[in-house]
Amino acid sequence: MSFKRYPARFLVSLLTVSLSLLLLGAFLCLTLNLKLALRSLREKVEIEAFLKDEVPYSQMEELAGQIKLIDGVEDVVLVTKEVALLNLQREFGKEFTEDLGDNPLPLSLRVKLREGWRKGEKVRGIAAKIGSLDGVEDVEYGGEWLGRLDRFVFLLLVLDLILGVIIGLSSFMSVSNVVSRTFLARRNELEIMRLVGATRRFIRRPFLYEGILQGLLGGGVGAAALFLLFLLLSPKLPSGALLPPKVLGIQVGLGLAFGGLGGRFSLGN
């Protein structure tokens, strides 16, 4: 194999593959962290049903029971006027509520939604059903904000898919070109082997193995580099940023796959 006869060329090729797979791994890590951040935002999506002042406590419990029966509702929490005032003071400070006089805040029911039901159309449907119940005066769920979130998520998924395809193809082509250059650099001696009777499969098998080896080593080096880079940058990254172990495994696995496929296709049939 060329790493024994041409170590410098092999190291340069290995560096090229490692950088490509490092970029791919960094992209995967960024994608997974963005998905976790979006999931965290989704978990904050809930519906607030404001009740009429004349609604008695017994009817509040009845309304909560009716809302729990709606598809997509996980839980319903009663928010009294006192609790609503405390929440307002906690968010804006006691000074903000000093001039309010008597507590003007309405009773409300805070509706928590199940996972998979926190998207625009589904939330709007649940909110419409809650708003139609007797005793409910108004319903708030941040429709405009939720619409922007849905559009952002869709755009992010499209860009993520496009970039993933581009980076994946670039990594694959990098491995393929490395094996192809090695093949071309030794074409004279390979021609001699062919003339003395060596079969095409016999001649090309070492290059296929070399492609697999370079891809595997490149994936391993790229994974190690990504891990070290994450450790160095972690103090500056947002809290909660993760480097999932599966990303490192994917890097090594893709390096192996790209090396085998790149070696196969770069050498032809």
Question: What are the backbone dihedrals phi and psi of residue 44, each rounded to the nearest 5 degrees, phi first?
Answer: -85, -5
Q: Is residue 111 helix, strand or coil? A: strand
On whether the CB atoms of residues 75 and 68 are closer than 8 A, the answer is: yes
On whether the CB atoms of residues 47 and 123 are closer than 8 A, the answer is: yes
pLDDT of residue 70: 92
C-alpha–C-alpha distance, residues 259 and 256, integer Å: 5
Strands, DSSP E only, in the chain?
46-51, 73-79, 108-113, 136-140
Q: Is residue 78 helix, strand or coil? A: strand
Residue 147 has pLDDT above 80, yes or no: no
pLDDT of residue 189: 66
Beta-carbon contacts of residue 175 (< 8 Å; ≥ 6 apart): 17, 20, 211, 214, 215, 218, 255, 258, 259, 261, 262, 263
pLDDT tens by residue, 231-259 = 888 888 777 678 888 888 888 888 888 77
pLDDT of residue 138: 87
pLDDT of residue 11: 76
C-alpha–C-alpha distance, residues 258 and 215, integer Å: 6
Greater confidence (10 vs 245) lies with 245
First to last CA, the chain: 20
Q: Is residue 237 helix, strand or coil? A: coil
Count how many Cα atoms sit within 13 Å of the Cα of residue 34 in the half-sphere of its side chain: 15
Q: Which amino acid is at 132?
A: S
Q: How many residues does the chain have?
A: 269
pLDDT tens by residue, 179-197 = 666 666 666 666 777 777 7
Residue 155 has pLDDT above 80, yes or no: yes
C-alpha–C-alpha distance, residues 259 and 211, integer Å: 4
Q: Which domains are present in the chain?
A: 2-40+152-266 (no CATH), 46-140 (3.30.70.3040)
pLDDT tens by residue, 61-118 = 888 889 999 999 999 988 876 776 666 566 655 555 555 556 567 778 889 998 888 8
* Percentage of the chain exceeding pLDDT 70: 75
Greater confidence (182 vs 19) lies with 19
C-alpha–C-alpha distance, residues 267 and 269, integer Å: 7
Question: What are the backbone dihedrals phi and psi of residue 140, each rounded to the nearest 5 degrees, phi first?
Answer: -130, 130
Q: Is the pTM of this model over 0.75?
A: no
